[in-house]
Homo-oligomer: A and B are copies of this chain.
Amino acid sequence: MRQAGRSLPEYRASRTGVGMLEACAMPELVTEITLQPVRRYGVDAAVLYSDIVVPLAAAGIDVRIEPGVGPVMGRAVRTAAEVDALPDLDPAAMAPVGEAIRMLVAELGGTPLIGFAGAPFTLASYLIEGGPSRHHERTKALMISDPGLWDALLSRIAGIAATALVAQLSAGVSVVQLFDSWAGALSRADYERFAAPYSARVLAEVAEHSSAPRIHFGVGTAELLGSMAAAGADVMGVDYHLPLDEAQRRITAAVGPRPLQGNLDPAMLLAPWDAVAPRALDMLRAGRAAPGHIANLGHGVLPQTDPDQLARLVDLVHGFDPADAPPGQ
């Protein structure tokens, strides 16, 4: 469960006085925070404590994470000169992350560790808008009006994201996820033309270096699942807008079936457990349409979530026997 730490008192204690991106570059702290939800919940995998913009920061691009806002750039990137001036990511700059990964792999034993990075379109939006954006208007305007500049920028970012994921794999993560937070802002045609080719480049470069499974995930992407799977995915992450069996139908139509990860709506966890449990069971039953289903939330854990709800959810998932009830019951 992504961002499971946000709701934990032990996480908040660990982060006191330490900025988000600073924390991501402190190996002992990354190790401790990554292990917290594993210890508390006994989940079947750990998610590396990091952020989708860590590869940009590691490349030396001026980005900070403002609490309650998100990633904010020191300066926006909108011109050919600004794109040319973007640094590449030196794999050596990923050393603190690599050190954390090595410590984690030693601690985790047989529990897999999932690494991740932001997808080129999402990172491009942060760079072009200068921070989080509701409408991505400068991004879309640049995208449709200057294809050459768009290609140069997205190619540069794809290189950074690929280098970051390969570095994580070299250090020992056993799964990587490409995270396209904002892909859902695009129509399918625009996604296929302006975003998918660069995500495909990242995922192909990862596959050249490792046979580790690649998860591909975005939010609000019900219309894009087939196109995202076609860009590359050993596992497709699905958000909460679509039941898993319907998601699987769309993915199968495009590329054949894939194991799915998801997709309980994290907002629902604020309801009493009696109301949440039937929805978790619905997810598990729909997930049988996707052999290899990785039970998960359909988006990150909300900070105000009661940790006991997450514990109940993990117990319910662990106690579920797919053979018990027929699909849809």
Complex: chain B residue closest to A263, CB-CB: B187
Contact present for A223 and B241 (CB under 8 Å): yes
Asked if A265 lies at the interface with its beta carbon under 8 angstroms from chain B, I say: yes
Contact present for B187 and A270 (CB under 8 Å): no
Q: Which of A30-72 contact B (CB under 8 A)?
A: none
Asked if A91 lies at the interface with its beta carbon under 8 angstroms from chain B, I say: no
Q: What is the minimal beta-carbon distance from A278 to any residue of chain B, in angstroms? A: 9
Find chain B residues with CB under 8 A from A144 CB: 268, 271, 275-276, 279
Contact present for B241 and A187 (CB under 8 Å): yes
Find chain B residues with CB under 8 A from A13 CB: none
Contact present for B223 and A220 (CB under 8 Å): no
Contact present for A141 and B189 (CB under 8 Å): no
Contact present for A271 and B135 (CB under 8 Å): no
Asked if A136 lies at the interface with its beta carbon under 8 angstroms from chain B, I say: yes
Find chain B residues with CB under 8 A from A222 CB: 222-223
A232-261 interface bits toward B, Cβ cutoff 8 Å, 1 = contact, 0 = none: 000000001111000000000000000000
Find chain B residues with CB under 8 A from A187 CB: 240-243, 265
Provide the bound-state CA to CA distance between A189 and B189, in Å.
27
Asked if A145 lies at the interface with its beta carbon under 8 angstroms from chain B, I say: yes
Q: What is the minimal beta-carbon distance from A193 to any residue of chain B, in angstroms? A: 12
Contact present for B242 and A137 (CB under 8 Å): no
Copies in the complex: 2
A214-234 interface bits toward B, Cβ cutoff 8 Å, 1 = contact, 0 = none: 000000101100000000000
User: Within the complex, which residue of B136, B138, B240, B268 is in contact with A141, where a contact is CB–CB below 8 Å?
Assistant: B268
Q: What is the minimal beta-carbon distance from A245 to any residue of chain B, in angstroms? A: 12
Asked if A272 lies at the interface with its beta carbon under 8 angstroms from chain B, I say: yes
Count chain A residues whose beta carbon lies closer than 8 angstroms to a beta carbon of B.
Answer: 33
Contact present for B302 and A137 (CB under 8 Å): yes
Asked if A130 lies at the interface with its beta carbon under 8 angstroms from chain B, I say: no
Asked if A266 lies at the interface with its beta carbon under 8 angstroms from chain B, I say: yes
Q: Which of A112-138 contact B (CB under 8 A)?
A: 135-138
Q: Which of A172-222 contact B (CB under 8 A)?
A: 184, 187, 189, 220, 222
Asked if A102 lies at the interface with its beta carbon under 8 angstroms from chain B, I say: no
Provide the bound-state CA to CA distance between A144 and B138, in Å.
38
Report if A272-B220 is in contact (Cβ < 8 Å); known contacts: A266-B135, A302-B135. Answer: no
Contact present for B145 and A271 (CB under 8 Å): yes
| A interface with B by C-beta (< 8 Å) | 135-138, 140-142, 144-145, 184, 187, 189, 220, 222-223, 240-243, 265-268, 270-272, 274-276, 279, 299, 302, 304
**19 pairs, A vs B, C-beta closer than 8 Å:** A135-B267, A136-B267, A137-B267, A137-B270, A137-B302, A138-B270, A140-B267, A140-B268, A141-B271, A142-B271, A144-B276, A144-B279, A184-B241, A187-B240, A187-B265, A189-B243, A220-B220, A222-B223, A223-B242
Other 20 A-B pairs with CB < 8 A, given A135-B266, A137-B266, A140-B268: A135-B302, A136-B267, A137-B267, A137-B304, A138-B270, A140-B265, A140-B267, A140-B270, A140-B271, A141-B267, A141-B275, A142-B271, A144-B276, A145-B274, A145-B275, A187-B240, A187-B243, A220-B220, A222-B222, A223-B242
